[in-house]
Amino acid sequence: MVQPVLEWQAGTVTAIRPETQQTKSFTLALPKWMVHRPGQHYDVRLSAPDGYQTERSYSIASPPERVGELELTVERIPDGEVSPYLHDVLVPGDQLEVRGPIGGYFVWDVSLGGPLLLIAGGSGVVPLMAMLRHRAAQHSTVPARILYSSRTGGDVIYREELDGLAAGDRAFEAFYTFTRQPPAGWTGYRRRIDAGMLAEVIKPFGQRARVYVCGPTLLVEAVANALVEMELPTAQIRTERFGPTGA
C-alpha cells in the first residue's frame, strides 16, 4: 500500500458543538482535505509563542462522505494539557494545526462487509460513530449493532443520532448499558459489559461478527477476552484502547 506523506495543515474551526458535559465536537475546514477510512484519527498540534509544541491524537467522528471537513469529538480531561485548551479557549474562526488521517487497522468501511458489532466505552464511541455515519451515508444494509457503555444517562455521546439511525434502519440496532446512574425509567442493561451481555448482543451475528472495540483499557480487555472465550476468531476482533491519560 502506498502511503501519502502526512503534512501539517492549518484547519479553520467552523463549528463547536457540545455533546455532553465533558465532550464537544469540533468541525474543521481543511485546505488539504484527504479522504479517510472510518476509525482513523488525526494528530493535533498546539504551539506556544516561544516555540513550545505538544501533540495529541483524536479519533475522527465524521464520515469520509463529508468532503472538505473534519469533525473531532474530544473529551475534556480536567488535568489535561490539550483537551482543556480545545474546550475552553478554542472558538470558531480559530486555526488548529492537524495532520492525518492516521491508522490503518482499526478501520471499517462498507467494502469490508459485516455483520458489524461495535462496542464502545465512554468517548471510545467516536471512531465507531464515524463507521456508522459512513454506513448510513452509503445506505449500506450490512447488519450492524452497537453496544455502548456509559457511566450515566448524561454521558452518552450521540444518543439522539444513534437512536435516529436505529429508528430508520431495520439492519441497525443500538444497545446501551449504564454503570452508575441510568436515565429515569431505564429498563435496559445497568452493569459493566460482561460475557452474558455480549452473548445476547452478538447472538444474531454468531461467529461471523466483525467486532470493533474502543474504550478504556479495562473495558477493552474484558470484552476482547470474553470474545476470545466465545471462540470468535481473533482476526475478527479489532481494538483501540485509551488509558486514564490521553489528555
Partner 1 sequence: MAGLISRGFLGRRRPAEVENRLPPGQYLVTDFPVLSAGPTPHIPLERWSFTVEGMVRSPVTWTWEEFQKLPTQTFTVDISCVTKWTKLDTKWLGVSVDTLLEAVQLDPAGRYVMAYSDGGYTTNLPLDEMVNGQAFVAYQFDDKPLEPVHGGPARLVVPHLYFWKSAKWIRGLRFMERNQPGFWESLGYHIHGDPWKEERYSGD
Residues at the site binding partner 1, with contacts judged by CB under 8 A = 1, 3-10, 43, 45-49, 52-57, 81, 85, 89, 94-97, 102-106, 217, 221, 224-225, 227-228, 234-235, 237-239, 241-247
Longest dimension (CA), the chain: 57
Shortest spacing between CB 62 and partner 1, in angstroms: 20
Give the C-alpha separation, 35 to 2, whole Å: 14
Q: Which residue lies nearer to partner 1 by CB, 46 or 110?
A: 46
Shortest spacing between CB 79 and partner 1, in angstroms: 9
Residue type present at position 28: L
Shortest spacing between CB 48 and partner 1, in angstroms: 4
Task: Read off φ and ψ for residue 5, nearest 5 degrees.
Answer: -75, 130
Shortest spacing between CB 188 and partner 1, in angstroms: 26
CB 144 within 8 A of CB 135: yes
Sequence-ordered list of residues with C-beta below 8 angstroms from that of 5, at least 6 positions apart, any chain = none
Q: Which residue lies nearer to partner 1 by CB, 66 or 99?
A: 99
Give the C-alpha separation, 39 to 127, whole Å: 4
Q: Which of 63, 95, 45 is closest to 161 using CA atoms?
A: 63
Q: Which residue lies nearer to partner 1 by CB, 11 or 63?
A: 11
Shortest spacing between CB 227 and partner 1, in angstroms: 7
Q: Which residue lies nearer to partner 1 by CB, 182 or 216?
A: 216
Shortest spacing between CB 146 and partner 1, in angstroms: 19
Q: Which residue lies nearer to partner 1 by CB, 69 or 97?
A: 97
List alpha helices for the chain, DSSP H: 83-88, 125-137, 159-167, 195-202, 217-229
Three cell numbers written together for 30: 481543511
Task: Read off φ and ψ for residue 33, nearest 5 degrees.
Answer: -60, 140
Q: Which residue lies nearer to partner 1 by CB, 94 or 161?
A: 94
Shortest spacing between CB 50 and partner 1, in angstroms: 9
Taking the CA atoms of residue 173, residue 192, residue 231 and residue 109 in that order, the dihedral angle to the nearest 10 degrees is 40
Give the C-alpha separation, 166 to 178, whole Å: 19
Give the C-alpha separation, 69 to 46, whole Å: 20
Q: Which residue lies nearer to partner 1 by CB, 103 or 182?
A: 103
